[in-house]
Amino acid sequence: MSFEIIRDPLWNNIRVEPWAMALVDTAPMQRLRYVRQLGLAHLVYPGATHTRFEHALGAYHLTRRALELLGENDAIDAGQAADARAALLLHDIGHYPFSHALEEIGAPHHEDLARPLVLDGELAERLDEALGGDAPSRIFDLIRGRSASPLQGLVAGSLDLDKIEYLKRDALMCGVPYGEIDVDRLIQSMRVVEDPATGRGAIGLREKGLAALESLLFAKYQMYRNVYWHHAVRSATAMYKRLVADALETGRIGVSALTRQTDEGLLAQLDGGNPTPLLTALRARRLYKRAIECPAAQLGETQPYEWIANDHAAARAAEDALADELGLERGEVLIDFPAKTQMLSVDLLIASRGGAVRRLTDPGWEGAINLPSLADALYRSARWLRVFVARPVTVTRQTLLAHLAR
């Protein structure tokens, strides 16, 4: 078999098999060349202009590596292995412009938007030709995390290859030292094990790989704290979310069109020759400033504030009410309390040295860090409640927190 060789700044040479190259050359995959991996983070980290396309190729590459190593120790079905490679290549096919931001305003999850792209049209035809007639539905089930394949955990799970790839790539392109992960140790420690709860095969980790898993956990925490949820990145993201929400409400754009747009294409559509002050400020990098900020760890019980992340309509109404109270224009106050409860998930099957398999979330891991408890503490430390304003205002943190708690 002949392979296409694609040069990559992170993994060097990526070897792409012919049927996968046919998927790469489809229009839905090529759109990802123009969708930035980290949304608006390039306004803070200028090197963060890499795209979902590069990440998809990297995820495919890691899948090939992982399957080769798994095949040395476990019997891997060739068809299931090909499905896993296709799923990792296509896992971001439904992504909105500017990364995950629009999912925070209630837009359907990008993995749901992959359905028509994978099950119909050009991609479906290529999958049918390469992997069989029901391949599109098998691949979509893997992308959505609901496949019975023992390789599901490579595509979506606590230790999926998507996470490993984006953490390494994002750290490299942002120029930060936070994405240090022992990738080789992690991949070499992966095994197909029997899940005691279901009796089915699933991706697990040998106990000797726990130290490498800790490196992944800390890398993810540091990247969220210092890059993904950096205050200026979140300010730009909040501005973008409000900009798109306003455009959706006025009918300037439609939800269905978002999945076909690129980053710059969407901004051009939002402009339409008559840019709003919010769009002008975002393009000029005149980011809103923090009026208050408070880490979740200092809020005590976060329940009084969870509606900010979970109910966009209520959050927007609160922003407008707060703007009126502070003497600002509507749209000049933005509230941000990002939530990603599975961000530091460690719900993994671990194969002990004696051969027994149990979940890492089970009690009694002698001599090991309590990773589930640590993950919860790190999540609360990385997560901050912030109010951003377009113009300086004089207001106390206590007053604003009381307003939000109401």
Structure tokens at 77: 């079905």
- Residues 6 or more apart in contact with residue 89 via CB below 8 angstroms: 20, 23, 24, 29, 56, 57, 59, 60, 63
Question: Do residues 150 and 79 lie in contact, with contact meaning Cβ atoms separated by under 8 Å?
Answer: no
Distance CA 365, CA 358 (A): 10
| pLDDT at res. 352 | 87
pLDDT confidence of residue 74 = 81
Phi and psi based region of residue 181 (left: phi greater than 0; alpha: psi -120 to 50; beta: remaining): beta
Q: Residue 65, Cβ neighbours under 10 Å: how many?
A: 15
CA distance 35 to 128: 27
CATH number of 18-229: 1.10.3210.10
* Whether 279 contacts 264, CB under 8 Å: no
pLDDT of residue 367: 47
At 187 the pLDDT is 94
Mean pLDDT, consecutive 10-residue stretches, the chain (406 aa), reads 92 97 96 95 97 98 96 90 97 87 75 85 95 93 94 92 95 90 93 92 92 89 94 96 90 79 92 90 96 86 85 91 91 92 79 86 63 81 93 82 76
| Residue 239 near residue 278, CB atoms below 8 Å | yes
User: Alpha-carbon distance 250 to 239, whole Å?
Assistant: 17
Alpha carbon of 218 to those of 59, 129, 160, 212: distances in Å? 20, 42, 16, 10
Residue 148 CA: distances (Å) to CA of 145, 201, 202, 324: 9, 9, 9, 52
Classify residue 227 by its DSSP letter: I
